[in-house]
Chains A and B, each alone.
Chain A
Amino acid sequence: EVQLLESGGGLVQPGGSLRLSCKASGFTFNNYAMSWVRQAPGMGLEWVSTISTAGTFYADSVKGRFTISRDNSKNTLYLQMNSLRADDTAVYYCAKRGLRGTYYFDSWGQGTLVTVSS
């Protein structure tokens, strides 16, 4: 069974930094692309970033501020978030992508809440 467990969320001041982690289990981690998706309070879902064998990709809203990475030896996905703004406040979900060439989110974690506020 695929399990994705996010951690690292919390309260941070505007301009601050935070690193999210996503511990994966139940599948061969290094065989799959992984993504981060977020959801601001009361709002819809927003794709944030994907890491695959083709590289790293970001939504315009986070480009230059967020960095996605992975440690395949630890089955862990990361999201380094810098220069945080109030509109980055959201639940951040880790998502496993489907097989190469299918471009969808196959499995989801339960999310971790990031609050950017002074």
Chain B
Amino acid sequence: QTVVTQEPSFSVSPGGTVTLTCGLSSGSVSTSHFPSWYHQTPGQAPRTLIYTTSTRSSGVPDRFSGSILGNKAALTITGAQADDESDYYCVLYMGSGISVFGGGTKLTVL
């Protein structure tokens, strides 16, 4: 069974830079997994940040960027702001119509 891995939690200082990663329990993540990223604050619906590895969704500031780093997908936030404090999820497309979410990363800005 495919497991998509994310750091359970991460902390960043205001104005700092943080990179969250999205890996596979077995194998490497590539652009062929069409990695996408979402964030969600408590009680709210998710919002789309990044798709097809590095394309920002409409209205997403360029502080957010996506890439492949080594064998993982990555979401980098530069100049972190207080309202970036949120849960961040990645999704990988596994083929045959199947998408798998990572377990999510709780980002704290302090």
Residues of A near any B CB (own CB < 8 A): 35, 37, 44-47, 50, 52, 54-57, 59-60, 93, 98, 102-111
List residues of B (59-110) whose CB comes within 8 Å of A's CBs.
87, 89, 91, 93, 96-104
The answer to whether B45 and A50 have CB atoms under 8 Å apart is no
A-B pairs, 6 with minimum CB distance: A57-B97, A104-B36, A103-B93, A104-B51, A103-B34, A44-B104
Which residue of B40, B51, B57, B100 contacts A47 across the interface (Cβ within 8 Å)?
A: B100
Residues of B near any A CB (own CB < 8 A): 1, 34, 36, 38, 40, 45-48, 51-52, 57, 87, 89, 91, 93, 96-104
Given A93-B46, A98-B51, A105-B46, residue A46 in contact with residue B101 (CB < 8 A): yes
Given A103-B36, A105-B36, residue A44 in contact with residue B46 (CB < 8 A): no
A-B contact pairs, 30 of them (CB 8 A): A35-B99, A44-B89, A44-B101, A44-B102, A44-B103, A44-B104, A45-B38, A45-B40, A45-B101, A45-B104, A50-B99, A57-B98, A59-B98, A60-B1, A93-B45, A103-B34, A103-B36, A104-B34, A104-B52, A104-B91, A104-B93, A105-B36, A105-B38, A105-B46, A106-B48, A106-B57, A108-B46, A108-B48, A109-B45, A110-B45
